[in-house]
Amino acid sequence: MRSKTFTVEEANSALPLVRRIVADVVRAYELLAEQAREYKQTRAVEDRTTEVEDRLNRLKRSMGALSEEIEAFVGELSEIGCEMKDLKTGLVDFPSLLDDRRVLLCFAMGEDRVEFWHEVTEGYAGRKPLPVTVLEE
């Protein structure tokens, strides 16, 4: 199946929903990272009491649930046609065409609009501003 491609206008129209999902992803990821740090610290405790073991088990269950939640959010983004690139920063790519070649429109949480793109073989470091002619369409 060929993936959906977005115009800049279509990507920007999808942003209200994408922003909500991305905010949920970033929130869940931060909580997961926090719990993973706590799990690691708790595992390092040498005196493994029942209380410590219970805490480890609760953290494991919670991290599993958060991982599933994140997967579901990423699946929602995929259904829209875009791809989550960075769970921590909220980076999302929208497949697109620019000058008849496949590229990725790039959006980061906190930005107002989709205004950047990069080649399929590049990542965030290769972001370039969209040409003014494309933004005006």
Mean pLDDT score, 59-79: 97
Q: What is the pLDDT of residue 42?
A: 93
Q: pLDDT, tens digit, for every residue of 89-136?
A: 999 999 999 888 999 999 999 999 999 999 999 988 889 999 876 655
Question: pLDDT tens across 11-35, in order?
Answer: 999 999 999 999 999 999 999 999 9
Range of the domain at 136: 1-137
DSSP 82: -
Q: What is the pLDDT of residue 45?
A: 86
First to last CA, the chain: 28
Other Cβ atoms closer than 10 A to 36:
13
Domains of the chain: total: 1
- From residue 92, give the alpha-carbon distance in Å to each of 38, 49, 50, 117, 124: 28, 43, 43, 11, 10
| pLDDT greater than 50 at residue 1 | no
